Structures are given as C-alpha cells and as structure tokens.
Amino acid sequence: MIQKNKKQFRSSHGNIVYTDSQGGGEPLIFMHGLPTSQALWYPVLPHLSPQYRAITFDLNDYGESEKIGRPISHKERAAVLDELRAHLGLATFNLIAHDLGSSVAIDYMGKYAQHVKKLVIMSPPIYPDFKEPAIVKLVRISGLGEVLVRVIRPFLFNIGIKQGLVHKKNFTPELLEAFAGPFADKAGQAALLRILRWGRPHSVFKDYPQIIQSIAVPTLIIQGRQDPYIPMSQASRMQQMVAGSRLVIIEEGSHFLPIDTPKRVAEIMNEFIG
C-alpha cells in the first residue's frame, strides 16, 4: 500500500515530498490534515478511476517533508500547494482535502481559485466557532505542551486515530508508522508541537465564511456520520453557503474516511469528478 518512487521539490518553505502517478488524465492533488501524512490517501488510490493523474504530498512538518523549525500558517501552506502545482506544470487541477487540509484548501480558494476545476472537502474544520479537541487546548500551554507531546504520541496516533474510525482494522501498522514515525526524534517532536499549536479557529478561520461564499467551482463535501471530531454543522453550513454544492454523508464512516471507507470515498469522487 505504501507508495514508492517518491519525489521532492524545494518550496519556499522547505523540501516537499510527493508522489505522482503521471499520465495525461485529470490531475487530482490530495492534501491530508492533522496528524496524518500523504499516506492517508493510499487506501483510496487503488479504487480511483485509472484515468486520473493522482498526486499526494506531505505538508511541511509532516511525513517525509522537511521539518522547517518554525510555525507555518495555513496561508503559507496554501502558497506551497500552489508552488507544487506550478512545479508539476498544471494550469488547473482538482483539489481534494481532509481535516485541516480542508482549512488550507479554503485559504487556497481565497487566493488561487482560478487553478481549481473541482473541489472536494472532507471532514472539514472551517468555521471560526469550531471547538478544538481538548488535547489541542492542553498542548497550547507553555511547558505542559512540551511534556505532553512526548507522552501523548502513542495516544494521538494509535488511540486517537482509531477513535476516528468505524473500521479500526483498516488502520494497519504500516499506516501507523507512516503517520507517527516522522515525529519520533527530537526534530519530529518539535514539529508535532508546532502542528498541534496551529492557531485558534476564531482567528485562523475568520475570513473563511467570506471565502466559502465566493467559491464558484463545483464543490463536493463529504462527512462521516460518526465523526467524533468534526461537528456535522461544519459540513452542512458549507453546503448551504456554496451555490450548487453537494453534501454526501457516509453513514458507516467516522473522521478518517480515506482509511475508514476508502472504496466508498473513491466511488463518490469518481462520480463527482467524472
């Protein structure tokens, strides 16, 4: 399942590791969220139509991409995504994003929407009134966060991810290592702390309602009925605000849908992207 032939390019915020299935089909760029990596999408890829050119990448500080040693904003992550688009020579592409990757996608739509043909938003925390999980609030406390990030790694990546799955057996040791392994050393622990301290929704997401209302490309929102982390209201409000958008609820799915129900996720995207 884990992809080989990974590539990298130098972005304005450090090296980015990505995979590219090549081919001349419709390009899809997949963006993961917290606390995963591009491996989040690997269970989905075999079920996608072979006509697509599938591109996955690790966000800065995640996975095999560079640990840059300083905080990076969602707007800066959106700029890096556009640098990846340009590096790949794509005038337009279809953007698929999960969790906090969905938040970055909203920033991308605020500045680079002309490059997006269709948008897929999955399990999205995107409104200023979003309530972060308790563990995120705790790691924001200076001193306590530094201790917790060493202690909670097994919880965050094993128990925490499984809590966001209905089909827990789908979370293989291979995926666990792909997510947690890059955070094991000192630089990785510092990166994990930066990631968990990504910002406060009321400030980071303050411009999102206006951006969301301006989205004019075909948009699909996917939400798991049993998601313990993202309230259904985040997805339903987006569907109401984006003209012509569609909301699909996966009844048997939780938060980490690309792992939980990969075949169903691929079927929905195959139908939407066409």
Which residue, among 106, 102, 85, has the nearest Cα to 33 in the 3D structure?
A: 102
Percent share of the chain, pLDDT over 70: 99
Contact 267, 237 (CB under 8 A): no
Tell me what pLDDT residue 237 has: 97
How far apart, in whole angstroms, are the C-alpha atoms of residue 124 and residue 233? 10
pLDDT tens, 113-122?
Answer: 999 999 999 9
Low-confidence winner among 63-77, 129-143, 157-171 (lowest mean pLDDT): 129-143
Which residue, among 199, 216, 37, 240, has the nearest Cα to 103 in the 3D structure?
A: 199
Q: Which fold has domain 7-273?
A: Rossmann fold (3.40.50)
pTM attached to this predicted model: 0.95
Tell me what pLDDT residue 2 has: 61
Tell me what pLDDT residue 23 has: 78
Q: Which two tokens stand for residue 220?
A: 């699909």
pLDDT tens, 16-42?
Answer: 999 999 878 999 999 999 999 999 999
Low-confidence winner among 124-128, 164-168, 190-194 (lowest mean pLDDT): 190-194
pLDDT tens, 167-221?
Answer: 999 999 999 999 999 999 999 999 999 998 898 999 999 999 999 999 999 999 9
Between 175 and 138, residue with greater pLDDT:
175
Q: What is the mean pLDDT of residues 73-94?
A: 98
Residue 4 has pLDDT above 70, yes or no: no
Between 156 and 117, residue with greater pLDDT:
117
Domain residue ranges in the chain:
7-273
Map residue 198 onto helix, strand or coil.
Answer: coil
Tell me what pLDDT residue 134 has: 77
Residue 1 has pLDDT above 60, yes or no: no
Which residue, among 182, 151, 189, 156, has the nearest Cα to 256 in the 3D structure?
A: 156
Residue with tokens 């202690």: 151
Q: What are phi and psi of 7, to 5 degrees?
A: -125, 170
How far apart, in whole angstroms, are the C-alpha atoms of residue 133 and residue 89? 38
Contact 98, 33 (CB under 8 A): yes
Q: What is the mean pLDDT of residues 212-235?
A: 97
Residue 153 has pLDDT above 90, yes or no: no
Q: What is the mean pLDDT of residues 219-225?
A: 98
| Residue 181: exposure state from Cβ atoms within 10 A (0-12, 13-18, ≥19) | middle
Q: What are phi and psi of 137, to 5 degrees?
A: -65, -40
